[in-house]
Amino acid sequence: MPWSREEIAQRAAEELQDGFYVNLGIGIPTLVANYIPDNVQVILESENGMLGMGPFPYPDQVDPDLINAGKQTISELDQTSYFSSADSFAMIRGGHINLAILGAMQVAQNGDLANWMIPGKMIKGMGGAMDLVAGVNKVVVIMDHTAKDGSPKFLKSCDLPLTGSSVTDLLITNLAVFQFEEDKPTLIELAPGVDLDEIREKTQAEFVVSPDLKSN
């Protein structure tokens, strides 16, 4: 059984370490906040200008002046601070954020990431994604292993416009986890019921298999 959206988020939450300052992207990455381990405290950054992002507000505490980078209403915590967009990206670009978790459309074997544009189809923009992947210490990327038509999304090289070049540190798909440290990515973990043959069949990127490959 491949991992569900929630299980992918849960797996990504294992990357959180006590005391980390963390930026979570829109979509599945947002769900990671639901799975922060009990013995770990992290501070969530929202790039529109907030550190110490709290949970969604109670209905009578909704405040239009208090949203996250996905434009959702949120709440503040005792340790919360607010600051300008320039200060926000100073902490991102300046390497002060320990971990970012982002979604992707394509990832390449050299760590290239594409998640902001499909030429001729989608014009939304990169938002803060290019700054995050350029500045944050560790970049965890989450995506489905294949596209809806079954074609691979983990590729030799991306054909979509890049968000960043060689920026991925860890890729978590619904089928497997890959680490980017050496020349080639290393397969380190398989989702339950997924075997190496299935990964090879659904992956275009070249990768090596960790001698400590973990099966779930």
Partner 1 sequence: MNKLKNSASEALEGILFDGMTIMAGGFGLCGIPEYLITALRDSGVKDISVISNNCGIDDFGLGILLHTRQIKKMVSSYVGGNKTFEQQYMKGELELEFNPQGTLAERCRAGGAGIAGFYTKTGVGTVIAEGKEHKEFNGETYILETGLVADLSLVKAWKADDEGNLVYRKTARNFNPVMATAGKTTIAEVEEYVSLGDFDPDHIHTPGIYVNGFIVGTDHKKPIEIMTTREYVA
Q: Which residues are catalytic?
A: 47
Residue 158 Cβ vs partner 1, minimum distance, rounded to whole Å: 11
For residue 185, what is the DSSP state? -
Closest by CA position to 111, among listed 170, 152, 151, 29: 170
Based on CB atoms, which residue is closest to partner 1, 50 or 199?
50
State which of residues 2, 52, 70, 152 lies at the interface with partner 1 (CB under 8 A).
70
Paired strand residues for 214: 189
Residue 144 Cβ vs partner 1, minimum distance, rounded to whole Å: 20
Contact assessment for residue 137 and residue 193, using Cβ atoms and an 8 Å cutoff: no
- Cα 72 from Cα 153, distance rounded (Å): 28
Residue 159 in contact with partner 1, rule: CB under 8 A: no
DSSP string, 147-178: -TTS-BSEESS--SPPSBSS--SEEE-SSEEE
State which of residues 44, 66, 100, 105 lies at the interface with partner 1 (CB under 8 A).
66
Q: Which stretch binds partner 1 (CB under 8 A): 64-72, 149-157, 186-194, 202-210?
A: 64-72
Closest by CA position to 156, among listed 90, 92, 110: 110
- What is the total count of residues that contact partner 1 (CB under 8 A)? 52
Residue 131 Cβ vs partner 1, minimum distance, rounded to whole Å: 3
SS3 (DSSP) at 3 = coil
- Give the residues lining the site for partner 1 (CB under 8 A): 46-50, 55-59, 62-74, 76, 82-86, 88-90, 92-93, 112, 123-131, 134-135, 161-166
